[in-house]
Structure 1
Amino acid sequence: MSIHYLIRLMAGTSFFALACAAPAAAQSQIEDEARLETVMVTAQKVEEDLQDVPVSLTALETATIDNLKASGADVRFLSARVPSVIAESSFGRA
């Protein structure tokens, strides 16, 4: 067997293995999403499920916020982590 044949054979085998593994990875991701906690929103003084709230919402984990606050960041750090949030200081945009 020539070296080119072996390379093609290995590439084809690798491609086949990856193609077979992709559906399993997608199914694993779906199962992980099914285990997420329900986020309750009280923005309208009525407790609602996040899926039923008619506005765009971004939830940050407590640990993420605590880590950013511990590093000395102020509320302007949210503008880099939450879409459509603009925070300005007295010196201009953050």
Structure 2
Amino acid sequence: MTIATPRPTEGSTDRARPAIAWTTVQAGLWIGNAGGEFAGMIERSSGGDFLITDHRAHPLGTCATLDEAKARHQRQFQLSQSALKASI
């Protein structure tokens, strides 16, 4: 008898939540990439806040730290991906 590990399904957490890789393109500007696609941008303002935009340049808000901005963007990205899959 062979015990097989179950394969992930389309509804698996990993597929529903692709990780965003952030690249610094210049001081104060980060570009997000998810699965080879542009995922959004984070820009540090002159006042020190971090401005977040999605993959269509729609504002997602501001955060006090870069880590908070990345986490907020990831949450919004996951929600938009879930909504997209639900509409298909």
Structure number with larger C-alpha Rg: 1
Larger helix fraction of residues = 1
Same fold (TM over 0.5): no
Q: TM-score, normalised by structure 1?
A: 0.22
Larger strand fraction of residues = 2
User: Which one has more relative contact order, counting CA pairs under 8 Å at least 6 apart?
Assistant: 2
Q: TM-score, normalised by structure 2?
A: 0.23
